[in-house]
Amino acid sequence: MTITSNKIAMSTEQFTTLSKIIYDRSGIHFPESKQYILESRLSHRLRELEMDDFDQYLAYLTMGPYQMDEFQEMFNRITINETSFFRNDAQLSVFEHQILPELLESRSSNKRLRIWSAACSTGEEPFTLAMLIDRTLGVRQNDWHIEILGTDISEKALKVAQSGVYNNYAVRSTPSLIKDRYFTVEGRDYRLNDNIRQMVNFERHNLKDRMAAKRHGTWDVIFCRNVLIYFDDDMKKNVISMFANQLAKDGTLFIGHSERIKDLTTDFVQLPIPQGFCYQRPQYLEMKA
């Protein structure tokens, strides 16, 4: 067994094999400079499995009866789940004050609104959107059918989302008025009130899975923030074209503030709204002009 500072050492060949498996399954690209992340995050898993070499782990992951479960277990450990309520307030304000009012107007006849928070981690993003919709619509919400879906590849993250209970760190950017209105303090935790919890459904979804995305039908708004940075250009292109298939003709796509898709797609054009980081179809923008 080769152990360095509590870690089980991963050879370059083992890293190459593992990073290819991860990429093929999820699109997550681990460059060589990130080998230490896989090594440190998975060493603990190897010890739990009483394995002392990454070759054994690779065999376990790719052969035998536990492959699917182990993939899930591995994604639970290697994904970066950093998020918070009201993350990037300026962008959310664009959603609340520009995109949402336009949508409420254009959907006023059937009163249906569908929002997908893709790669939502522990749920803070879709719950934030639920709060913004709740405070915009107030009692008028009873007349509307609002569907918000939060999806992620990590089941562990989704379990937190489904519990609706968060620590102080998760609400670090949440205005106090919102905390008072939508949470109940329980000891050191914040429990989301039922009316907001009930507005959001969660489901495991891998952004590689176009068929599963198709089954969910068409969305009016898609939020996909701070995950494209983990993908290479091919995966980014695939994900953006999948969103183009699943977004309504007048729908809006929001991405993370450090993410760029301009050179990867002709399906979307960025709206000239500072801090918006949001995109619509060129045909729709031409029609509006």
Q: By the criterion CB under 6 A, which residues form the site for ligand SAM?
A: 26-28, 79-83, 87, 119-121, 125, 152-154, 157, 206-208, 225-227, 230, 256
Question: Minimum distance between the CB of residue 56 and ligand SAM, rounded to whole angstroms?
Answer: 25
**Which C-beta is closer to ligand SAM: that of 82 or that of 143?**
82
Question: Minimum distance between the CB of residue 169 and ligand SAM, rounded to whole angstroms?
Answer: 13
The helix or strand, by DSSP H or E, that contains position 135, with its residue range, turns out to be helix 124-137
Task: Decide if 92 contacts 136 (C-beta within 8 A).
Answer: no
Question: Of 229, 190, 188, which Cα lies nearest the Cα of 207?
Answer: 229
Q: What angle do CA 154, 96, 123 make, to 5 degrees?
A: 15
Q: How many C-beta neighbours within 10 Å does residue 274 have?
A: 9
**Which C-beta is closer to ligand SAM: that of 8 or that of 222?**
222
DSSP symbols for 13-35? HHHHHHHHHHHHHH-B---GGGH
Contacts with 109 (C-beta within 8 Å, 6 or more apart), sequence order: none
Question: Minimum distance between the CB of residue 174 and ligand SAM, rounded to whole angstroms?
Answer: 13
Alpha-carbon distance of 65 to 207, in angstroms, equals: 25
**Which C-beta is closer to ligand SAM: that of 100 or that of 227?**
227
Question: Minimum distance between the CB of residue 83 and ligand SAM, rounded to whole angstroms?
Answer: 3
Question: Of 31, 36, 32, 51, which Cα lies nearest the Cα of 5?
Answer: 36
**Which C-beta is closer to ligand SAM: that of 74 or that of 248?**
74
The helix or strand, by DSSP H or E, that contains position 163, with its residue range, turns out to be helix 155-163
Contacts with 110 (C-beta within 8 Å, 6 or more apart), sequence order: none
The helix or strand, by DSSP H or E, that contains position 255, with its residue range, turns out to be strand 247-255
Question: Minimum distance between the CB of residue 76 and ligand SAM, rounded to whole angstroms?
Answer: 8
Question: Minimum distance between the CB of residue 110 and ligand SAM, rounded to whole angstroms?
Answer: 28
| Both tokens assigned to 31 | 């460059």
Question: Minimum distance between the CB of residue 227 and ligand SAM, rounded to whole angstroms?
Answer: 4
Question: Of 202, 239, 30, 182, which Cα lies nearest the Cα of 120?
Answer: 202
**Which C-beta is closer to ligand SAM: that of 45 or that of 208?**
208
**Which C-beta is closer to ligand SAM: that of 8 or that of 76?**
76
**Which C-beta is closer to ligand SAM: that of 8 or that of 87?**
87
